[in-house]
Structures are given as C-alpha cells and as structure tokens.
Amino acid sequence: MFEVSSQSGSGDIDVDNSEDCVSATLDEDLATAVQLYDKLVSGELSVQDACSSTCLDKIQEKLEAQKTQMAAKRTSKIWLQYMEMVDILHLFIQAERTGDWMLHLKSLQEMLPFFTASGHNVYAKSAYIYVQQMLQLADSHPEVFAFFRSGYHVVRRVTTTGLGSRQTW
C-alpha cells in the first residue's frame, strides 16, 4: 500500500505518498481508539477519560474532511443527506425511549428543514410552533417543564397478559 523507510538512526519516517500518510495516521488513530475501547470495557479507563482522548477528535476531524470532500459529488451528497436524516431519526427514537426532553426538542428542530424541503408545509408549520412553545415552557410553566425534563412527556402503555409476560407498546 505504501512504502515506509527509516532514516539511519534518527527514527524519522518518510512516507512516499501523502494520501498513504493520511491512511497510516488514520490507522494509528483507529488502533489507539481500539485500545481505548478495550481499556474502557475492562474498567481500566473511565468514560470521561476515554471521551477526552485526542485520537477521537482526530478521527472525527478526518471523517468530517472526508464528508466535505465527498459532498462535491451528487450521488455522495444524496447519501450523506440520507445518513443525516437517519441520524436525526435515531436521535428522536433515543429521546422517546429514554424520556430525554431536550433531545426530543433538538431532534424535532433538526427535522424542520426536511419537512419544508419535502413539501410537508403543515408538518413544518406545526412542528415549528410546537418547538417554539416548548422552548418557552421553562419560563411560562416551570412545573410542567420540570415534569417533562423528568421523562414524563413520553407515554408508555404496559399490559400484562394472563401468562405473566409483559408487552410494552
């Protein structure tokens, strides 16, 4: 894939191709991320220490640079937009399952441009008004806001069948 040659005694590495150099450093960062994950799973490392690692920031920067480069092509741009929409839906589902009120509002706010672009103007208008009113809820109705922040904006229905099994809808 690429050639690496070491200068005599200095320990410096010369790489012939700049793309291969990026690939080599990405591989090193990914290897470091795997080591972080292994330490995290084994309990040797805390979540805060793992998240504060610079190798994760480097990987994120490289991914963003790759996305920017790919966005210049029409097909890639469509796929990246699709991935963004799926990510927003994942956030919304996570917000509903965990009862996270602020994530619920954030995901709805991120959906607004897609409602408008797809011609669902009534959804866009209603969702916009809903988000604006819910963002003002802390000032207008602090007790309701506190209740929603505690996860009570999600409705869960649990039924117990005669066999003792539980179904959640």
Cβ partners under 8 Å of residue 69, min gap 6: none
Q: How many angstroms separate the CA atoms of 107 and 65, rounded?
A: 24
**Better-predicted residue by pLDDT, 161 or 130:** 130
Confidence of residue 47 (pLDDT cuts 50, 70, 90): confident
With 60 as the cut, is the pLDDT of residue 16 above it? no
Q: How many angstroms separate the CA atoms of 76 and 69, rounded?
A: 9
Tokens matching residue 31: 């290897």
Question: Looking at 45-49, 67-71, 165-169, which range is the least confident one?
Answer: 165-169
Q: How many angstroms separate the CA atoms of 88 and 127, rounded?
A: 15
Tokens matching residue 130: 């809903």
Q: How many angstroms separate the CA atoms of 102 and 62, rounded?
A: 29
Angle formed at CA 106 by CA 100 and CA 110, multiple of 5 degrees: 145
Share of the chain above pLDDT 90, in %: 54
The confidence score (pLDDT) of residue 154 equals 83
Q: What is the pLDDT of residues 62-71, one digit of tens each?
A: 989 999 999 9
Q: How many angstroms separate the CA atoms of 83 and 128, rounded?
A: 23
| Helix-then-strand count for the chain, H and E | 8, 4
Average pLDDT score over the chain: 82
Tokens matching residue 161: 């069948």
With 50 as the cut, is the pLDDT of residue 1 above it? no
Q: How many angstroms separate the CA atoms of 93 and 79, rounded?
A: 21
Q: How many angstroms separate the CA atoms of 81 and 70, rounded?
A: 11
Tell the residue number behind the tokens 């470091």, with chain if given.
32
Residue 161, number of CB atoms within 10 A of its CB: 8
Each residue of 6-42: b (16+ CB within 10 Å) or e?
Answer: eeeeeeeeebeeeeeeeebeeeebeebbeebeeeeee
Q: What is the pLDDT of residues 113-128, one digit of tens each?
A: 999 999 999 999 999 9
